Amino acid sequence: MKKMQTIYKIEELKPVLRGLKLSGEKIGFVPTMGSLHEGHLSLIRRAAAENDIVVSSIFVNPAQFGPEEDYEEYPRDLKGDSALAEAEGADFLFAPEVRDMYPPGYRTFVEVRELGEGLCGGSRPGFFTGVATVVLKLLNITRPDVFYLGQKDAQQAVLLRRMVHDMNLDVRVEVLPTVREADGLAMSSRNRYLSAGERESAPVIYRALSEAKAAAEGGRRDVRAVLGDLEAVKSSAHGAEVDYIEAVSVDELVPVSEFSGPVLIACAVKFGKARLIDNILVNCEKL
């Protein structure tokens, strides 16, 4: 197995990666907030298969957490993560400190208009500005050829792809499928917040999304009717509180009233203190 190097300092990582790039190495980058699970590892594995050098970052980004959110409690396990990332073929683990990413006097934020306002942006104001800002910084630090994202965070993927395009960044964005537990629950670092009872109920999210997809692809076109059925399934689940369920166009993320053409059904559901998100594509395979 290749030995992975963990680097904490921005100014240490940059020259190493610039040197590798100059000597012709292709760099794949996987940004994460750590607490790695099979979803993250699928991205690292793919990056290792498609690139000469794989960089993964672990940074719990304070700029994307609201004041009432779980920044402090968010699970952190750098040691465990290092072993997992190395085993999947990462060459560098970049784990910067908050004071280096946002030093005193930090003033610059990236806003991707409109795409960050609906869906999760509705209940998490400022969230996508925090995401776009940190990802642009990480892309500038690592300058990868390709960077890998999960469909699990579909709105994030659409918005970051747009940022890359709008900012003329020379990087290819690759969005990979959501990795799920055997019962369909999308893997997430936040699943560990679930009580035993909530964990048992949580697969209802993916069951409901799958039912909606089957109905839509089977010919039911009326979004309101199909999503109405979804609400019924969810409210019957133990402790579930639906934040939103929406059907939107895959490119602009605007609400649609009919299932015609490619549509993303996305939802956020709270189980106790865990706010879980998931989504499914209708009439298309890939974001």
Give 157's DSSP letter: H
**Which DSSP string do the residues of 197-244 spell out, in sequence order?**
HHHHHTTHHHHHHHHHHHHHHTT--BHHHHHHHHHHHHHTSTTEEEEE
| Count of residues that interact with ligand AMP, criterion CB under 6 A | 16
Is the CB of 142 or the CB of 188 nearer to ligand AMP? 188
Site membership for ligand AMP, residue 81 (CB under 6 A): no
Report if residue 56 touches ligand AMP, rule: CB under 6 A: no
User: Does 88 participate in binding ligand AMP (rule CB under 6 A)?
Assistant: no
> At 92, phi and psi to the nearest 5?
-135, 135
For the chain, where are the alpha helices, taking DSSP H only?
Answer: 10-22, 38-50, 78-87, 98-101, 120-123, 127-142, 154-166, 196-201, 204-217, 223-235
Among 13, 28, 29, 39, binds ligand AMP (CB under 6 A): 39
Nearer to ligand AMP, 146 or 187 (CB): 187
Nearest residue (CB) to ligand AMP, 40 versus 275: 40
The Cβ of residue 224 has, within 10 Å, a number of other Cβ atoms equal to: 9
CB atoms within 10 A of CB 106: 12
> Looking at beta carbons only, is 48 or 226 nearer to ligand AMP?
48
Contact 102, 134 (CB under 8 A): no
Segment contacting ligand AMP by CB under 6 A, of 36-44, 45-53, 137-145, 206-214:
36-44
DSSP 3-state assignment of 99?
Answer: helix
Which residue of this chain has its Cβ atom nearest to ligand AMP in the complex? 150
Give the residue with the Cβ less far from ligand AMP, 115 or 223: 115
Question: Judged by CB under 6 A, which stretch of 16-24, 67-75, 136-144, 187-195 contacts ligand AMP?
Answer: 187-195
Q: How far is the CB of 179 from ligand AMP (least distance, A)?
A: 4
Q: Which of the residues 37, 40, 165, 238 is marked catalytic?
A: 40
In 3D, which of 175, 176, 94, 87 has the Cα closest to residue 142?
Answer: 94
| Rounded CA separation 230/214 (Å) | 12
230 binds ligand AMP (CB under 6 A): no
| Residue selected from 4, 17, 33, 267 as contacting ligand AMP according to rule CB under 6 A | 33
* Residue 135, token pair as written in the block: 């990802």
189 touches ligand AMP by CB under 6 A:
yes
Annotate each residue in 134-173 with x if it binds ligand AMP (CB under 6 A) or - if it does not, as one string: ---------------xx-xx--------------------
Pairing of strands 92-94, 53-58: parallel
- The verdict on whether 165 is a catalytic residue reads no
What is d(CA 28, CA 144) in angstroms, rounded to the nearest whole number?
6
Q: Check binding of 188 to ligand AMP (CB under 6 A).
A: yes
Strands 240-249 and 263-271: antiparallel
Closest separation between CB of residue 113 and ligand AMP, Å?
21
Binding site for ligand AMP (CB under 6 A): 32-33, 39-40, 42-43, 149-150, 152-153, 178-179, 186-189
Q: Show which residues are catalytic.
A: 40
